[in-house]
Amino acid sequence: MSDPFLSSDEYDERAHQLYNEGQYDDAIDSLREGLALYPHAVELYVGMGYARLAREEFAWARRAFEEARGLDADHEDALAGLGEVLLKFGERAGAIGCFERILALGFEGDHDLMLQLGRALFREGVLDQARRFFEIALTAHPDSAEAASCAGYAAHRLADEGNSLHWLRRALELDPSLGEARVYLANLLYDRGEYEAALFHLERTDPDEHYDALAIWRLIELKKSVYRLPEDDPELVPWHDRLSDLTGDAEPDDLLLAEIEAMGPDGQVRDPRQIELFGTLLTELQGMRTRGTGVSAEVHRVSIPSGATYVGTWEEIVRQMKDDAAEWAGGSLEQYMEASAKRWRKQTGLVIPAGDPESFLRAGADAGVLRILH
């Protein structure tokens, strides 16, 4: 039953609690009720925007944030929310404009807000700007382990391995309990051939801290190799259990292929330097995962003849390729794919579809102009 004696702040607080509990429908009902009584309450419109955003109702979220800005054009949370929505619509310039306005208003010292903006940009593949906001957070809060780890993730996605290692190590100095940062760092060290250092970090993680099978497989193989443990050693049981949890939905053919790729001609597991099981580093982090949209957010890895390697979803990979081509800095993703498809057709004589990133990349791999590693 509605309570006519609630203030707008109380409606906002109640909706906020429901939002934190994941009860988005109830939060929206409460906000509607509050707005019926307080139609000029900016915070209620902002709350409505974030609840709609959580339900992936982007058009409705945009309308709510724009209503809030109509009442207070410089409300920082309304600007942040609107920027997130604009990113969902592919309106990057507008989104960055919202975020720049927040900086102009003097909120660069707001740790949580800077991380929110950086993560929103990271999720949509705007990696250079994401790193910028993480570094702004670090400037104001140099002892923030969270900001340091995020800067490390962004640096890695930008192929800046040195800074990635620096920030991940710094994050763990500040907070040794950051499991995701430790797993990420271990994977980076493993790929560099620093196996003892990788094992050092992997052994300081718990199975439940892993959301990707790659690091667990590596930990098992390193333990078996270094400590001469048999496959059924009790020490490995929790890791095998977690690996089963993560790969339980894998197709039998995929598992068989992974097993075959891991074996040498003598039936033994190949040297770690010669394999790249599962194909990619841990790049989708618990704190920066894209909310489910019904569209696969699987992470892939693609290399091109120049030696550059790109990691992310199909769209993120193509966007990174476009961003690395200086002449396409101001062009759209579609224009880049169309131009590249024409160029590749001239090189190979094969038709390359440019309608969507996955088809574009898969056809490019078939034509031999790039390699899909995973």
Q: What digits encode the pLDDT tens for the residues 274-319?
A: 333 323 333 334 444 443 333 345 778 888 876 677 878 899 898 8
- The winner for highest mean pLDDT among 78-82, 123-127, 154-158, 280-284 is 78-82
Q: What are phi and psi of 372, to 5 degrees?
A: -95, 110
In a domain, 69, yes or no: no
Number of domains, the chain: 2
Quick one: CA dihedral 292, 298, 303, 308, positive or negative? Answer: positive
Pair 250, 299 in one domain: no
Q: What are phi and psi of 301, to 5 degrees?
A: -135, 130
Pair 223, 280 in one domain: yes
Q: Note down the domain range covering 309.
A: 290-372
DSSP character at residue 290: P
In a domain, 112, yes or no: no
Q: What are phi and psi of 262, to 5 degrees?
A: -80, -10
Pair 295, 361 in one domain: yes
- Which of the residue ranges 63-67, 84-88, 128-132, 261-265 would you say has the lowest mean pLDDT? 261-265
In this structure, are residues 41 and 18 in contact, taking their beta carbons and an 8 Å threshold?
no
Bridge partners for 310 per DSSP: 302
What tokens appear for 190 in the block? Answer: 């493993």
Q: Please identify, among 261, 284, 307, the residue that sits at the C-terminal boundary of a domain.
A: 284
- Which of the residue ranges 32-36, 285-289, 309-313, 358-362 would you say has the lowest mean pLDDT? 285-289
Q: Please identify, among 269, 284, 299, the residue that sits at the C-terminal boundary of a domain.
A: 284
Q: Is the pLDDT of residue 340 over 60?
A: yes
- CB count in 10 Å sphere of residue 202: 24
In a domain, 236, yes or no: yes
- Burial (CB count within 10 angstroms: exposed 0-12, middle 13-18, buried 19+), residue 310: buried
Would you call 297 helix, strand, or coil by DSSP? Answer: coil
Q: Is the pLDDT of residue 76 over 90?
A: yes
Share of the chain above pLDDT 90, in %: 56
**Distance, CA of 261 to CA of 65 (rounded, Å):** 50
Pair 235, 255 in one domain: yes
Q: What are phi and psi of 300, to 5 degrees?
A: -125, 170
**Distance, CA of 215 to CA of 219 (rounded, Å):** 6
Pair 264, 305 in one domain: no
Q: What's the whole-model pTM score?
A: 0.68
Tell me what pLDDT residue 352 has. 85
Pair 238, 308 in one domain: no
- Please compute the mean of the pLDDT values over residues 11-30 and round it to a whole number: 92
Q: Is the pLDDT of residue 34 over 70?
A: yes
DSSP letters, 91-103, are -HHHHHHHHHHHH
What tokens appear for 196 in the block? Answer: 């003892």
Tell me what pLDDT residue 100 has. 97
- CB count in 10 Å sphere of residue 368: 12
- Please compute the mean of the pLDDT values over residues 221-228 and round it to a whole number: 90
- For residue range 94-152, list pLDDT tens digits in order: 999 999 999 999 999 999 999 999 999 999 999 999 999 999 999 999 999 999 999 99
Pair 191, 256 in one domain: yes
Q: What are phi and psi of 63, to 5 degrees?
A: -60, -40
CATH code of the domain covering residue 269: 1.25.40
Pair 229, 318 in one domain: no
Pair 308, 270 in one domain: no
What tokens appear for 364 in the block? Answer: 């490019």
| Closest by CA position to 115, among listed 135, 85, 101 | 135
In a domain, 350, yes or no: yes
pLDDT confidence of 250, banded at 50, 70, 90?
Answer: low
Pair 223, 273 in one domain: yes
In a domain, 60, yes or no: no
Q: Is the pLDDT of residue 252 over 70?
A: no
260-276: burial string, b at 16+ Cβ within 10 Å, e else: eeeeeeeeebeebeebb
Alpha-carbon torsion, ordered 205, 210, 213, 217, to 10 deg? 10
Q: Please identify, among 242, 269, 284, the residue that sits at the C-terminal boundary of a domain.
A: 284
What tokens appear for 223 in the block? Answer: 């333990």
Pair 200, 250 in one domain: yes
Average confidence score pLDDT of the chain: 84
Pair 255, 319 in one domain: no
